[in-house]
Amino acid sequence: MKEFNKHTSRKFNEELESVRNSVLKMGGLVEEMLTQALHGFFQGDSQACTNVIAMDDHVNDLELEIDDECRRILATRAPAAIDLRLIMAIIKTITDIERMGDEAEKIARLSINLLESSEINKADHLEIQAMGELVQTMTKKSLDAFARFDSELALSTFRSDEMVDSQYKTLSRSSITHMMEDPRSITKRLNIMWIARALERIGDHSKNICEYVIYTEKGLDIRHAEDLEG
Amino acid sequence: MKEFNKHTSRKFNEELESVRNSVLKMGGLVEEMLTQALHGFFQGDSQACTNVIAMDDHVNDLELEIDDECRRILATRAPAAIDLRLIMAIIKTITDIERMGDEAEKIARLSINLLESSEINKADHLEIQAMGELVQTMTKKSLDAFARFDSELALSTFRSDEMVDSQYKTLSRSSITHMMEDPRSITKRLNIMWIARALERIGDHSKNICEYVIYTEKGLDIRHAEDLEG
């Protein structure tokens, strides 16, 4: 929990705690959206996909609420040092979480397209499966790192984005080969590629959240520090 | 210019003015990146594309600088009301401008791929041209709206994103038809689709900037207010 809960004002402690809990709630919702969207894709469950689309409104509402709450804290508490870094990290984190929700919604919509128009087979599933699991883990870990402000977990999670990118590149290349071999599969292949693309972007957003955690905890900005990604 | 420059502290006025100027400088750089990337694509000028890739570092540096400056203002000035909304809008705006830079860089890289591997013809150019011009205009207008804090310009620019989305959908559909008719063109077609995709995302980021302008000027949050998009 670091030093956030050490204010003489009990009310300020409660406010910080409350806004952090809202971020975790928002993150939990997006995790659930991703799980349901992938379940929808793998199990051909269009109801699960429809649920995901509906959940996105709730995520959007939470973003606006948390944004307001941060503005109120900045205006009334004039936080400094680590508290200020925390609020700035929250303002940025919720933008990323909201966009993760958009990508999960995209996966749900693409899965519905696929269910309506193509036969998805075991081989198609396998392509997405490894990447889906990796991105789910990354999402969970980045939110855990945020919850505990654990910058070591954040750094290791940040680094695993490289693996997601590499899986995405492999999948793109193999999709292109499949499309050339069987042009009738182009529409299906593109939908699968776009699902992979949405997963890759969720990985990017998780990576961003990890950066904010490190920045908050250490006061160290690792954005655009490419050497850390190696 | 609204009410930003009415503080009794001349120093505070200067600080706000300076951070806004940095945002405009960052925006100007990204506009130039987009112009150069599209020039590279249309004219087959790989040097222009290479320049774009190099410019992205500068944009990233500016993001970190402005972020620091905003944190310093929050910590030392404890701004309230419209000044606080301005700082919050800047913190969000620079994230979008930075990602617009990433997308422009992507267009430059994809153009280099295309120049190296395919013959681009007049018809390929035409597909991107209308969308490219629209997105360039949108980018310029969203940054102008930010510069002048003109929420009317922001609202009309916000609405033009719909046209970008519709152009992107048309281009995607026609690309799929082309790929099916001529599977040898798949790689080229995908590169062109991805350029269109990057343009579509730049449009989204411009739209986000317009939202922040409206939020700052009117204190009205139009994010996720889908009825405004109609």
Please give the C-alpha separations between residue A183 and each of A105, B114, B122, B177, B178, in angstroms, as whole numbers.
27, 21, 25, 10, 10
Residue ranges of domains in chain A, CATH in brackets: 2-229 (1.20.58.220)
Interface of A with B in 106-135 (CB under 8 A): none
- pTM given for the model: 0.91
User: For residues B131 and B164, is the Cβ–Cβ distance under 8 A?
Assistant: yes
Each residue's pLDDT tens digit, A175-223:
999 999 999 999 999 999 999 999 999 999 999 999 999 988 877 667 7
Question: Which of A84, A85, A179 shows the shortest C-beta gap to B183?
Answer: A179
Q: Contact at 8 Å (CB) between B155 and B215?
A: no
Put simply, the answer to whether A63 touches B88 (Cβ < 8 Å) is: no
Work out the average pLDDT over A9-21.
91
Distance, CA of B84 to CA of A147 (rounded, Å) = 26
The number of C-beta contacts closer than 8 angstroms across A and B is 71
Phi and psi at residue B223, to the nearest 5°: -65, 140
Min distance A47 CA to chain B CA atoms (Å): 23
What's the farthest any 2 CA atoms get from each other in chain A? Answer: 68
Q: Please report the pLDDT score of residue A229 as a whole number.
A: 44
Are residues B126 and A129 in contact, defined by beta-carbon separation less than 8 angstroms?
Answer: no
Taking residue B159's Cβ as centre, other Cβ atoms within 10 Å add up to 14
Residues of chain B in contact with residue A118, where contact means CB-CB under 8 angstroms, are none
Confidence at A226, pLDDT banded by 50, 70, 90: low
- Model confidence at A6, pLDDT cuts 50, 70, 90, reads low
Neighbouring residues of B140: CB distance < 8 A, sequence distance ≥ 6: B31
**What's the token pair of residue A33?**
């959206």
Q: Which of residues 49-68 of B touch A (CB under 8 A)?
A: 57, 60-61, 63-64, 67
pLDDT of residue B120: 80
The mean pLDDT values, 10 residues at a time, for chain B of 230 residues are 65 92 97 98 96 97 96 93 92 97 98 87 86 98 95 96 95 93 93 96 97 85 59
Does the beta-carbon distance from A95 to B91 stay under 8 Å?
no
Residue whose entry in the numeric block shows the structure tokens 């997963």: A199
Q: Give B183's contacts in chain A (Cβ within 8 Å).
A: 179-180, 183
Q: Are A53 and A110 in contact (CB under 8 A)?
A: no
Instruction: Choose the closest CB to B88 out of A60, A91, A223.
Output: A91
Distance CA A156, CA A210 (A): 9
Rounded to the nearest angstrom, the minimum Cα separation between B124 and chain A is: 19
How does A104-121 read in b/e, with b if 16+ C-beta sit within 10 Å? bbbbbbbbbbbbeebebe
| Interchain pair B180, A180: CB under 8 A | no
Q: How is A38-96 classified by DSSP, letter by letter?
A: HHHHHHT-HHHHHHHHHHHHHHHHHHHHHHHHHHHHHHHH---HHHHHHHHHHHHHHHH
Give backbone dihedrals phi and psi of B150, rounded to 5 degrees, phi first: -105, 100
Q: Does the pLDDT value for residue A172 go beyond 50?
A: yes
Q: Are B103 and B205 in contact (CB under 8 A)?
A: yes
B82 interfacial to chain A (CB closer than 8 Å): no
Q: What is the pLDDT of residues A111-149, one digit of tens each?
A: 999 998 877 888 888 889 999 999 999 999 999 999 999
What is the rounded average pLDDT of the residues A58-67?
A: 96
Q: What pLDDT does B230 receive?
A: 38
Q: How many residues does chain B have?
A: 230
Helix axes A81-117, A186-218, angle to 10 degrees: 170
Mean per-residue pLDDT for A26-41? 98
Q: Quote the CA–CA distance of A70 and A20 in Å, as a whole number.
A: 10
Q: Which residues of chain A make contact with B81, given a CB cutoff of 8 A?
A: 75
Average confidence score pLDDT of chain A: 91
A122 burial (CB, 10 Å; 0-12 / 13-18 / 19+) is exposed
Output the pLDDT for position A69. Answer: 96
What's the pLDDT score for residue B229? 44
Is pLDDT at A1 greater than 90 in this prediction? no
Q: Tell which residue, B157, B3, B152, B163, has the closest CA to residue B86.
A: B3
| Chain A residue numbers touching B221 (CB-CB < 8 A) | 64, 67
pLDDT at A127: 81
Rounded distance between C-alpha atoms, residue B61 and residue A24, angstroms = 30
